Amino acid sequence: MRYKCTIKKLAVSVITAVVILSTNFATPFIHTDSDYKVFGFVSTDVNSLKGGIKVDLGSTGLSTVTDQRGYFEFNKVPYGVYTLKASKKGLIKRNVTVYAYEDVMVSSSDYPVRLWVGDFNQDSSINMADVLEISKSFNSTVGDPLYISDNDLDSDGVINLKEVMLIARRFNMTSFDYANQTAQKNEITPEGIFEETGCRVFKLTDPHDCESYVLCDDEFIHIGVGFAGFGVTDIETCDFDAAGKKDLIYVYSFGSGIHRSHIGILDLDDKKETTLDYVNFDDDIMLKKISDIYFEVYDMNNTDRLLAKVGLVDGKIIVEKVI
């Protein structure tokens, strides 16, 4: 069964900025020495908090703060994969993965990276510790000895029930919940997947991405990349390690400036994703299962056009390009 997600491709070349749980991402791209621009918007539950949010770009050492619109920008970013971190007292910190293979618009003003209000001790969760922090200055106003400006979430000069209600709105949320709240998930589980693995497959309905998730053992696991592409377009069960327990092999596409398709495998024991050493810059692709350890890769728009073969060679999973 094949799945596409209809989206409006952005005019600016966009790669992706989503929370990805992959630990074995193979990078089959040709390295260049170009420096790129990484930019976007951050927003919160309260408009007045959009300014002054700290944004760090991982191992580059680059750091900035958002302006009053929530806009940030980095220039001369080296080619690579980075973790962008957005943080400010009173907000749950958020990390997104940025693929700097070209200029990257991480988010737009219409679809910003959103941070949730209520985390005062910066432990990446909203809980009773944050309520206790607010209580220290409850019912205080500007000029009072107990007034703490950072606790005045709506910047109206008084700390009152409004702050408590903002905390209550996201109470018990943590940074891990960001991935599960960005958009509605539509189930796309193909026939046989649940019966063989007990897992179900979902795709987001966000207007500008098609991120895909596997629900396994009551945990949503992000697979592949879908931003400005179609996300997972085909998925099958596999058993390359001959353990007798099925895993998942899938193909996915992302990127608008440079659209690309990849092949991934999710180990359902350790919940880890591996991206195989294969990339197709021309076609969205699909799988044909020959056996649990052998698959063929076809052009989705020309199902007779064989592109590659996936199988075991000396105990290793190898992709052999045909075209």
Confidence of residue 205 (pLDDT cuts 50, 70, 90): low
The pLDDT tens digits of the residues spanning 15-69 come to 333 333 333 333 333 344 568 999 999 998 787 788 999 999 999 999 999 999 9
Amino acid at 276: L
Report pLDDT for 206: 60
- What region does 124 belong to: left with phi over 0, alpha with psi -120 to 50, or beta? left
> Mind listing the domains of the chain with CATH numbers?
118-169 (1.10.1330.10), 183-323 (no CATH)
Mean pLDDT computed over 235-248: 95
pLDDT value at 232 more than 70 = yes
Report pLDDT for 38: 94
Write down the residue that tokens 């046989």 correspond to.
Answer: 192
Report pLDDT for 26: 35
For residue 127, give every residue at least 6 positions away whose Cβ sits within 8 Å of its Cβ, in sequence order, or none: 171, 172
Determine the number of helices (DSSP H) and then strands (DSSP E) in the chain.
4, 23
Higher local confidence (pLDDT), 127 or 323: 127
Report pLDDT for 254: 85
pLDDT value at 111 more than 90 = no
Q: What is the DSSP letter of 58?
A: G
The region of weakest confidence among 6-15, 124-133, 166-175, 176-185 is: 6-15
pLDDT value at 309 more than 90 = yes
Angle (CA) 297-191-283 rounded to 5° is 25
Report pLDDT for 183: 54
**Cβ atoms within 10 Å of 92's Cβ, excluding its own:** 26
Query: Do 136 and 120 form a contact (C-beta atoms < 8 A)?
Result: no
Confidence of residue 100 (pLDDT cuts 50, 70, 90): confident
Report pLDDT for 184: 62
For residue 99, give every residue at least 6 positions away whose Cβ sits within 8 Å of its Cβ, in sequence order, or none: 15, 16, 81, 225
Instruction: Give percent of the chain above pLDDT 70.
Output: 85
Cα–chain-centroid distance for residue 152? 31
Report pLDDT for 34: 63
Report pLDDT for 178: 80
Confidence of residue 190 (pLDDT cuts 50, 70, 90): very high
Selection from 240, 246, 262, 245 nearest residue 313 by Cα: 240
Report pLDDT for 176: 77
Report pLDDT for 17: 38
